[in-house]
Every structure is written in C-alpha cells, then in structure tokens.
Chain A
C-alpha cells in the first residue's frame, strides 16, 4: 500500500448504457404519455363526441384551472413538501375578490372590476401561502399538517364570508377571463400556457430553479452549499398560493359565480397531476412537462368517463387507483435505479 498505485485501476468506469430495451425505463419516461394517447383513442372510438372541437376545448379549459395550480404544486413537491390547502385557498381568493367587486359596485372600478378581483384573489393566495411556508419553516411542522390545517381554516373562512352562499352577477369583462377566447383559444388555456412556460423556464434555466431541486434533493447539503433553505421553502408555498388565487379567479369567471365550495377536492387532482407526471414525492426529481401530461390525463379520464355515462362515484375510485399506481411505479422505478 504505497502511493505508487496512482494509476488507479479502480477509477470509475463511465456508467454503461443499459443493454437492450428496458421496459421499466421506457415506461418511466413515456408511460403516462402513452397511456394518455391510448385513452384518447379509446374514448374517441367509444363516444364520437369526445373528439369534437367543443369537447376538446371543454377539457382543456377544465384542465387549465387546476393545471395552473399544479405548476406551483410541482415546485412544492420538488422540495419534498405538499400543499393540501390549494382547493380551499382557490375558493377563498375567488370569493373574496368577487365579494369586493359586487359589494362595492361594479361601476366603482370604471369597468375594471375584474382586475380588482384578480388582484385580491392572487393577494389572498400569496398571503395564505406565506403563512403556510412560515409556519412550516419557523415551527418545523410538517407541510402535510400545516396545509391540512390550512385546508379547513381557509374553507371555513370562505364559508363565513358570505354565509356559504355563492356570489354572482359579474360583468362581461370579468366573465371573459373564464369564457372568452383569443383566436379561438380559451383564455384560461392561454393563462395556463403562460404559467407553465414560466414554470418550465424557472425550474430549468434559473438559479432559483436549481435551488428548488437542491433543497428537495438533499436539504442538509443544500444548506452547506450556502442555500437559504427556509427562504426557498417559503417561496414555493407563496408561488402555489398565488397560482391558486389566480385559478380561483379564473374558475369564478368561468362559472359566472364564486362558490364557497368551489375547488373542493381539487388538491387531490392537483397532487395527482404532479405525481402522475413523474415528480417524486420524496423531492428533488421531476418537472413541469410531466405535470402537464399528468393534468391532461386526469382531465381526459374524467371527461371521458362522463361521456361514457359512468357514474361520477366511480370516477372517484378511478382517480384514487391511478394515484396509488403512479406512486407505486415511481417507488419501484426508484428502487431499481438504486440497485443498478
């Protein structure tokens, strides 16, 4: 044992490319997309209306509302956290915005009532997200618990605000955000496109994006690399809150009323989109592209089942099964990666 061994026969071999076709690896990459395509074809054959322009537009608009939140949720789950409060926050923001606009009187804002509602809704989402993030980082409470509490707190606040009654009576400018279109593309879809593109760029090409992955991948190493871990954690809850507020506004515009019970169980759909899209619940792995495919898959599935007159109760069963399968596959693929 002397230094003569410098020629190091034990130096790393470059990792070998796996020989032949690896079905698990292939499915890990393209499985969800493949499933989405198969599903579209199957629904298209069994119910002719499924692929009509009207229905496709419908699906995309529906997907947009929770897809916007799913972009923020991707960031949260990338840090190894989760936000269960998004559905409640969405309703809280929408109702607060609508309440101000309708109670103060639409005329008071020179026809820009929608802007006021938008700002209030997003501000409320941002604030609740900040509260979640600070509670998680200051008191070291698991995100699951903090946002589980937030889920009922904000829902309760929403119900209190207008005694559980919906608020309707928006002007055309307000409703345009939910029902209008630009060159035939529904406005919510455009918003989703902008949000998803921004999320993609931030996660992929910015320092902040790298920090999110680092915090989720190994919090201690992230700290020792000079990253302000609590600040990154708070920021992702702020982002998802802001986006929930934005989605709430869009949903109320689409429905023509802000409902206190809007967005109930959206958190499930949103988390499912992210997880089906391949983002690891353990943090540090995943991205926006997968989330968008996951969101589409859920939208197609829910819509297709309705078109086939499947009981809505059955839809819930299908959703649950798909989420569990997606995570089980993720864990399995990860374990295999670990072994290789």
Chain B
C-alpha cells in the first residue's frame, strides 16, 4: 500500500426530485482492495457511474493519480486513464474469441494497417497466463461459464493497463470455488499495485478479501474503516441505521385458511444463465389475508420462486396447492386459472404493453370473463371494469384510450395491479411493487395490498427494500442462494437480523466471528422425483 490513487470529495448528483448523492467521498490507496457498501438506493451505483464517466456529477472533485479528472470525460477517456469498470452484466461479445474481446477496438496492428492476429493471440495468452488462468484465447466467449467470462473481463481490464478496477457485485453469479478463485486473482492484482473497488452485498467476502470499506447510506458518506478489527455486524449497523421510511401497519387480516402452499420446489439451475439459479427444496405457506414478504439479494431465489409458482419458469420438482387443491401449473395461464396473479418484477419489460391503451392493458387477462360467445369483447363490461378499478386505485389519467407508456411509473404500476385484481385472485404475488415510483404512490400501492389482504387474498410481496418488506408484511421469509434461511414475524424483525439472514444465512449472533470461506458455496441439489 502506498499513495492515494483516487481522491473523490464532495460528489453531488441530483436527479429530478431525488438527491442521489449528497456530498460523498471516497479515498482509494494504491494496491488496495476497497469495499463500497450500502443498501439498494444508497448511491453506490450512481457514484460508480460518475467515476466511470458514464454520468456527469453535479458537483465535487476527483483526483486520480494526483491529477484532477475532467467531469466531461467519457467512459472511454476514463478507461485510457486506467479506470476500468467490470459491470454485473458483462460487456462481452459472445460470438467473438476471448482475445478479440480483450482487444476490442484496440487490436494490435501490423505496419500495413491490418490486424496482427499472431501478436494479439500471443499477448492475450500472456495476460491470461499471468493471471494463472487455464483459458485458450481462441475460444469464443459464448462457450464460457459466467465465472470464466468474468476472468475475461479482468484480463481485458489488464490489457488496458488498468490502475483502478471497479467490480460491481462480482460474485453474484459465482459458485463457492469460483469465488475463491476470483479472490485469489484479486490478491494477485493487489500485489501488482492495482487498486480495486469491490461492491458487494455479501459482507463475509469483504472480510475475506478487502483491506478497507466505505459505507454510503441514503446518498451520504457514512464512514471508512479498515476491515481488520471490524465485524460483519459493524458493517450492517453502518449500512442500516436510518429513519424508517414507511410506517408499519397495525391491523392484521391473516386468517387460518392456508391459501397457498408450496412444497419442495427444487431446481438444478444453469451454469451459464445467472437468471436460472439453483432452488433447493423451498416450501412456503401463505394464509388467506396474510401478507408474506420475500427478502433476499438479487438472484437469491425470491423472484425465481415466485416465477416458478406462477408457471413462468420451470422447476425439477415441487408441488403447488391453492386453497387446498393441488394445482398443475405449466404456464402462467394455468396459474391464472388456478387463482394466482403476478405483478412482475420489471414493469416495462414484463408487465406493460407500452404503446397500447390503458384499457387494453388493464382488461387483457379478464377478457375471458368479459366476452360474448367467448369471442367478442364485451366492451360495456370492459369499460365498467376499468371505471371501477380506476376509481378504487385512484389511477390518474386523461382517459382510458391513452397509451400506458405515457403514464408515470406509479400509475403504470396501479394499472398492472388493477389487471391482477380484476382476475379476483386467491393468491397475489407482487415483485418489486414500488421500484422507481415516488413516495406518495408507494404508500398508495401499499394501501392496495392491504385492501387485497383484507379481502382474504394471500399476498406475497417481494422487495429489495427491507424497510418496505418490514412495513407491509405480516411475516418475512429470507432467501439466500436458493434456500430459505428464515421465516419470522415482521413485528419482531429488525433490519440487522434480516440482513444477516440474507447475507450470511443465519442470525447475526450465531455467526459472530465465523468466517465462511467463499460464501457462495453451490447449494446441493435435491434429486428430482
């Protein structure tokens, strides 16, 4: 460790209506692995985008190697300076070889201006060997596992003479062994004097690989501390301690009738597709009128289980019962017929038909009911339904012929909720119900969920925002790496407790001082039966 390579001070960023960064700072020393921690919405991503040159800041200064960084720099300009970001979604071209990806746009040329392939493959091989990897630079990237692709990204960064590598959730899709390998490589990079900003939710990894950590909270700088002498609980405490954003509800509607029962859902997962993660023997019960919150990191299995229940993705084994009846669910339409409705995670990609009218968006799955001779749309009935739910949910629009794409996020979400409510479901699953919508609309969406519970619907709420899960749920189920790690009444749950269940797989107290090497151990898979 030596001199300071990056000195960012007083960085500000304002988005319309939101202060994303309120004067944060970050100092990185040469040859240091520095963890950047914070909850979702703490401002980490925004800060890293500014550092990478993908977004301009609204104030503050950054010194890199003692030189001030030009705020107008493009990502390319920052890369030339040696600041390289490895994003969660890799920037690799699958059809090209490893070497072609490593030197993309910077191919070594011969004197006549043509690409010097021999030199390119030789140089690539050298970088790969230096990292101690067993990869052939002539292999196309498409055949590589996620972990290997990440190694290619790191190799690529080295060909750019990176001085500072930013790794955003580098282990999110890796198995235990692969995490160990990555950490080994990180140690090697550090020995070369390269600095690394390591962003992760897996705090145990911070203790394993990082030298210092900095915590952001709600767009503000909290503290920077050495990892030595800090515990995971210290980190959690620094990340969480904040005002409660949502008021916890007091009235409960949960009855005794089990409305949704999921037994033993398992899936082997796929090595090349980080979205098809392993699910290990997941069982859940939700009673009528109960709101159950699913908490976990992205890819921990919360959304994945919901999609299996809804028939959007497959599983190897498992049984779903709705209101005591076994439901055979092979597709979303089976699930809807069984009385399950889903408001999907990504409003724009999976929920809305953006260019189509609000009317068409809202009534689509209910048309089976609202039809004459099962063929013609009963337009009078349709309009009545729209008017009904527009009023109930307080959807603000000029008229129902307007394209849903012109509405605000909050109103779009309400239309999707209305779409599900109009099906009169027994089970309602809402994934990230308030992502990207303003605080007022959030409260209104929560109110809708309460109404549904009051009417006897079993509700599952999935959210990355712990305060939200705690505010709306009766009970919270935590997920980690495809397993359920806890189920506790929301009244008693604390954020610290939930965080350690999500990050460590157990209550904070029992894990104090424990060090799980490479926490991403591949969950063992139950045989399909």
Contact = CB atoms under 8 A, between A and B. Distances in A.
Contacts of B367: 207, 210
Nearest to B394: A11
Nearest to A207: B367
A2 B439 CA distance: 8
Contact of B344 (A6, A12, A224, A226): A224
A53 interface: no
Interface in A199-231: 205-208, 210, 213-214, 217-218, 220-228
Interface residues of B, number: 50
Contacts of A208: 375
A3 interface: yes
B375 A11 contact: no
B408 A12 contact: yes
Contacts of A226: 331-333, 335-337, 365
Contacts of A218: 349-350, 352-354
Interface in B141-161: none
B398 interface: yes
B440 interface: yes
B396 interface: yes
Interface stretch (B60-68, B240-248, B296-304, B488-496): B240-248
Contacts of B411: 11-12
B15 interface: no
A3 B444 CA distance: 10
B360 A210 contact: yes
Nearest to B363: A210
B397 A284 contact: no
Contacts of A8: 410, 438, 440-441, 444
Interface string A1-25: 1110111111110110000000000
Given A207-B368, A210-B367, A227 B440 contact: no
B407 interface: yes
B406 interface: yes
A90 B217 CA distance: 66
Contacts of A7: 440
Contacts of A3: 246-247, 439, 443
A323 interface: no
Contact of B312 (A2, A223, A227): A223
Given A1-B243, A14-B396, A15-B402, A214 B441 contact: no
A214 B331 CA distance: 17
B509 to A, nearest CB: 31
B397 to A, nearest CB: 6
Contacts of B17: 10
A11 B333 contact: no
Nearest to A283: B355
Contacts of B407: 12
Interface string B377-419: 1010000000000000000111000100011101100000001
A214 B364 contact: yes
B245 A217 contact: no
- Residue of A207, A210, A285 most packed against chain B (CB within 10 A): A207
A6 B408 contact: no
Contact of B408 (A10, A206, A220, A223): A10
A180 B396 CA distance: 56
Contacts of A224: 310, 312, 332, 342, 344, 350-351
Contacts of A1: 243, 245, 439
A10 B440 CA distance: 8
Nearest to B398: A14
B345 to A, nearest CB: 10
A205 B444 contact: no
B371 interface: yes
A226 B312 CA distance: 10
A217 B376 contact: no
Contacts of B192: none
A14 B399 CA distance: 8
B353 A206 contact: no
Contacts of A207: 367-368, 371, 374-377
A210 B353 CA distance: 11
A84 B117 CA distance: 41
Interface string B444-462: 1000000000000000000
Interface string B206-222: 00000000000000000
B225 interface: no
Contacts of B379: 205
Nearest to B247: A3
Contacts of B247: 2-3
B356 interface: yes
Contacts of B406: 15
Given A220-B349, A221-B352, A223-B312, 8 more contacts: A11-B411, A14-B402, A206-B376, A210-B364, A218-B349, A218-B350, A221-B349, A223-B331
The 3 closest A-B pairs by CB, nearest first: A8-B440, A14-B398, A226-B333
Interface of B: 17, 243, 245-247, 310, 312, 331-333, 335-337, 342, 344, 349-356, 360, 364-365, 367-368, 371, 374-377, 379, 396-398, 402, 406-408, 410-411, 419, 438-441, 443-444
14 contacts: A2-B243, A8-B441, A8-B444, A10-B17, A12-B407, A12-B411, A14-B398, A206-B377, A214-B364, A217-B355, A226-B335, A227-B364, A228-B333, A284-B356
